[in-house]
Amino acid sequence: MLGTYRAILKLYPPQYREEFGPEMIATFMQAEATYREKGSGQFNFAVRELAGLLTGALREWLTLRNSPDLDLSQVELLTSEISLPTDAAEMHRRLKRLIHGMQFAIANHNFPMARRYSNAERILREQLRKIETA
């Protein structure tokens, strides 16, 4: 199944594959191992993953076509994601929302958005550490 996944991954734009391909493959391998351990639902898993991969490839080509200057390595964090609250409790709530958003983005093969959430989470955790150690 990994061979099929890698073959379909080649349908993505080259820059996207270069940027996110290794992460996508690693995530897929982890999920596949989990389903193998369970021993059930492997067919549904395969159909869902491959359909999501094909849909994602189409979405990325359409995005590239509509935004030819899009450079995924230069995508900045959303402004709302980097405005940091000063209250530690609010920061913890924000971290939970960021993690949930990142999980949703990964589950839906939206890896650029998952990367944004991950970067925002890292920044917020650094800020939280500074506040809690002060």
Q: Which pLDDT band holds residue 67 (cuts at 50, 70, 90)?
A: low
Q: Is the pLDDT of residue 3 over 50?
A: yes
pLDDT of residue 71: 44
Task: Give the integer Cα–Cα distance in Å for 117 and 83.
Answer: 13
Task: Give the integer Cα–Cα distance in Å for 80 and 114.
Answer: 15
Q: Where are the domains of the chain?
A: 1-72, 75-134
Task: Give the integer Cα–Cα distance in Å for 77 and 84.
Answer: 12
Quick one: which H or E segment has residue 113? helix 111-133
More confident of the two residues 15 and 73: 15
Q: Which pLDDT band holds residue 86 (cuts at 50, 70, 90)?
A: low
